[in-house]
Structure 1
C-alpha cells in the first residue's frame, strides 16, 4: 500500500509542476496590466489564496473576508478566479438580471461529464439536455404541488412519527430515510428505497464537495493514469451503480405502467403518459432515451433527499435549543389542529410554525457557500473585467448575516417574519412566510439556476416539522452521571455542499399518553398503503 502511495505521488509531481509553471507565467503577464477595482485578500503566486482556507467550512472564511473587503471581492485558488458576493442586490444584478451570462456550472473534478449530462440536471451547463430536463421537472413539481403531492407526505409523516416514538435514538438517520422515502414514492412508487436513496444522495454529495475527494481542490491529481488513479476508479464504480439503479427502477416502472399497475401520482407515470400522448403507445425507446429519462427522474428523486433532510434536522436542533419557540409553535398547533396531526390544509393558519421553519433556513444555511455559477462569456461589472470561466459565489452564510437585513443574525428569531418592526416582515401572515416566495428566497439559488424543489420543500418541511411538534416535546439530553445538560456544537456539519448537521443529542418525549396512542393509530391507518 505504501509503494502505491509513493508511486501516485511521483506521478502527480510532474502535473503539479506544469500547473505551477503555467500559473507563474500567467501571473507575470498580469502584473501591471490593470488595477483591480474589486478588493480582496492578498494573492500569492500559484496557490492564490487557498493555503489558509479550511475546506470543511470555507463559508466562515468568506464571511470573514466580506467583513474586511465588502459585499463583493475577488480571490483565486490554484489558478481559478472567484468573485464572492455577500449582498442580495449585487447577487440579483449578476445572477438574475445577467443570468444569460452567469448561469454556467463549474467543473467538479471528482465527477465524470456532469456538465454535458444527462446525469445531474443541477450541475449541467445550459444546453438542450439541460433545457428539456429542467422544463419537465418544473412542470411536474408545479402540477403535483397543486394537489399537495396527493397526501403522500402526510402518510409518510405518520410513519416517521411512529419511528421516532419507537426508536428515538436513531432520529438522525431516520430523518434522512424519511425524506428518501417520500421522493422514492413520488418517483417510482417504491418508498422502500428510502434508505438506499438517502445513502446514495449522501455519497453523491461527498463527490461534489470541496470537503470530499482531494482532487476537487488538487485538480492535477485527477490526471494521474487510470491504472494508478483511485479517485477515477472509485467514481466510475459509484456512478455506474447509481445509473444502474435508476435505470432498473425506470424499467420496473415502465412495465408496471404497461400493466396498468403504476399509480398516477408518480413522476414516472406522468412521464410515460406523456410518451403515449405523443403517439408512442408501446413506449419503445432507444438506450439513450431511456438513459435521459432514468437520469432525469433519478436525480429528481435523489436531490430531494438532502435538500430537505438537512434543513429538517437543523429545525429539530433549533427547537431543542429554543424551547420558548417550540412552545409557541405547539400552542398554535394545538389551537388550530387539536387532536389531529397537521396537514398542508392547515398551513395558512400556522404562521408561527412557518416562521420557525423559515428562520431555520436562515440561521443554519443548508447551502452556506451557495451553489456556484460560472461566467459563460467575458463581462464587465462596476468597471471590473470579469473573464469567462470566473466562478461566482453568492455566499449564503454571509448574505444571511447582513445585520441591516437580518438584525442579531447569529441568533434564532422567527419573529423577524411575524412582527412589523423587523425588515423581513411581510403580509398577509396567512401567506407569508413560506419557502416558495417572498423575502430570503436566495436559499434556493438565483435566476436560471434556482432550485426547482421549493414546492416540495415547503410542503414536506411544514408537515414533518408541524407533525413532530404536534407529537413530541423535544428535550435537551442530560448526562446520566452528572445530570448536566449535554452541550454540542450547533455548527458541526458533514461539510458537504448541501449540509446536514452531525448527530446531536435530543430526546423525543410524547406530549401525552393519549398523543402516543394517536401516533400509533395514525400509522396503523396508513401502514397498508406504504412499503415499510
Structure 2
C-alpha cells in the first residue's frame, strides 16, 4: 500500500500548497526583530524538519537533538510546532502546574474524530464525555484494586506458566495473550477473548502511531478523496470492527446479567448495576448509550493490555541478558516463597524483584516519546510564547537518561532502587520501588492526563515477574547448528506509541524437576475454573 505513496502525494498537492501559504503568512506576521523562541535544529521552509524525523525509533533522534539543544527545544513538521522536553522539572511546570493549559490531545490523523469520543478516552479532548469516562474508569479501577483484581492475575499466571513449560518457544505470543486474558476477564468475564484482545490492541496502536499509516506523518495524504484513499478506507473498516466487537461483548455480558450469571467482579457488572439503580431495575438503554458504554469498557480493556504486554516482554529480555540479577531475584523468591508460586501477598518481601521490574521500564521505556499533549490556548514560558495547538512531548526516553537522576543510564542497574547511595532510592523497601507512587512515575504521563492504570500495572507486573523467576531459568538462545549465541537487539521494537520489542529468542527451562511438577499441578488446578 505504501508503494502508492508518491503517486497519491501528487493528489495531495492542493493541501501542501495551502500549508505553504499558511507558512508564508505566518512569516509576514513576525515582527522585524523576531520573537524569542526555544533553541532547536535548523528549520527549512514549509517542511521544518519533517524530512529528518524517522518514522521508527523517533525518540533516538529527539535524544540526539536534546544533547545538542538542551532540556527544552522546539522543531516543526509542516505547519505543526513541537516542543520537546527532556527534564522532569520542566515537564512538571508545564504539564502538571499548568495542566489547565496543556491537557489537550493533538489530532492523530488516521483516527477518525478521536478527539470527540467516545471510542478512545485517553485520546479525547477535555470535554464532558472525557470527564465522565475518566471518572467512571477511575472508580472502577480503584474498587478492583482494593481486592487485588480478585485473584484473576494469579489464576491466569498459573495457566501462562503451564503453557510456557509445555511450549517455551511460543513465549512471545503467550505473553501478550496473558495480558489480554486478564483484562478480558475483568471487563466481561470472557478470558477466551484474550488473544483477539491483544491482537486488536496491537493493530489499534499501529494506527495511532507515527510508525503506522503514512498520513500520520504526511498529513496531506489524508485529504485524498475517500474513494481512492486506502488509509481512510482501512481505518473506517478497522474501527467499525473494533466497535462492533466491543458492543458484542457488551451485549453478551448484558444477557448474562439478565440471567443472573454475570460475576459481580467484572466492570460490565458494575456498569449494569448502576444502570439498574438509575432505571428502577431495568437494563433498557438507547442504542447510542450502549455504544458509548461498550467503548468506555472496551478502551479500558485495550489500554490494560498494551501498557503491560510490552514491559513484561522487555522484562523477560532483561532477565535473560542479566543472569546476575536473575539469580539475586530468584534467591530472594526462594527465601520468601519456597516451593509455592509467589502471589501479590508477597509484594513487601520481594524488593529485588520489584527493582528489576522498575528498572526494566526505565531502561526500555514502553512509551519512549511520551503521550503528546496539546496547548489549549496561548501561553508563555521562560519568555517564549507558546501558541495554541502546539504539541508538547515530555520525551520519556530522554528523561530516563538524565545522568544526575539516573547515573549510568544506558545500563540495566536495578540497584538504583535498592541502595541508598543512588538518587532514586526510597525507603522502606517493603513499599518501594513500585508503579503506584514515588520515584520515576513519569512513565504514566503527566497532570490531568496521567494514566489511571498504575494499580493494575503494579499488581500484574509484580506477579508476572515473581512467578516467572520462581518457575524458570532464562538465558540467551544458542543456535543448534553453529553453537553460537543468537543475539538480541534490545532496541528493535514495533515503534508504536506504546511499544513492544520485536520478536526475539531466549532459552526457557524449569529451574528444577520439582518446580516443573508444581507448575503442572497449578495449571491443572486452574484450567477447570478458567474459560479457556
The TM-score with structure 1 as length reference comes to 0.98
SS of 2:23's partner is helix
Residue number in structure 1 paired with 2:471: 471
1:246 paired with 2:246, answer yes
Query: Greater CA deviation, 481-490 or 353-362?
Result: 481-490
CA offsets 1:186-228 (integer angstroms, 9 cap, x no match):
0000000001001100010010000100000111111111111
* Segments of 4+ moved more than 6 angstroms: 1-7
Q: Which runs of 5+ in 2 are unaligned?
A: none
- Name the SS of the counterpart of 2:115 in structure 1: coil
Q: What is the correspondence of 1:120-519 to structure 2 with a 5 Å cutoff?
A: 120-519=120-519
Instruction: Provide the residue aligned with 1:87 in structure 2.
Output: 87
2:75 is the alignment partner of 1:66: no
SS in 2 for 1:523: helix
Correspondences of 1:4-43 after superposition (within 5 Å): 8-30=8-30, 32=32, 34-43=34-43
SS of 2:134 mapped into structure 1: helix
C-alpha spacing 1:137/1:342, structure 2 compared with 1 (3 Å) = same
Q: Conserved in 1, the CA contact under 8 Å of 2:275 and 2:282? A: no
Shift of 1:167: 1.2
Summarize the Cα distance change of 1:2–1:485 in structure 2 as closer, same or farther, 3 Å threshold: closer
Whole-angstrom distance in 1 between the partners of 2:305 and 2:408: 31
CA distances 1:393-422 after superposition (whole Å, capped 9, x unpaired):
000000000000000000001000000000
Write the deviation string for residues 298-329 of structure 1: whole angstroms up to 9, x where unpaired. Answer: 00011111110000000001001110000000
CA distance 1:31–1:57, shift in 2 (3 Å): farther
Greater displacement, 493-502 / 9-18? 9-18
CA shift in 2, pair 1:58/1:2, >3 Å: closer
Number of equivalent positions: 532
Distance of aligned partners of 1:278 and 1:476 in 2 relative to their CA distance in 1, 3 Å threshold: same
Q: Is the 8 A contact 1:161 1:519 kept in 2?
A: yes
1:83 and 1:13 mapped to 2: Cα distance? Answer: 27
Q: Give SS of 2:380's match.
A: strand
- Does the CA contact (< 8 Å) of 2:104 and 2:126 recur in 1? yes
Instruction: Please list the CA deviations of residues 459-495 of structure 1 after superposition, one character each: whole Å capped at 9, or x if unmatched.
Output: 0011011111000000111122222211121100001
For residue 503 of structure 2, give the secondary structure of its aligned residue in structure 1: coil
CA distance in 1, matches of 2:35, 2:414: 44
- The Cα of 1:49 is off from its aligned counterpart by 1.1
Deviation at 1:7, TM superposition (A): 6.2
Distance of 1:72 and 1:396 partners within structure 2: 13
Moved more, 44-53 or 337-346: 44-53
**2: CA distance, partners of 1:21 / 1:391:** 21
Deviations 1:225-263 (A, max 9, x none): 111111110000000000000011111101101111000
CA contact (8 A) 2:36 2:383 kept: no
Contact in 2 for aligned 1:27/1:45 (Cα 8 Å):
no
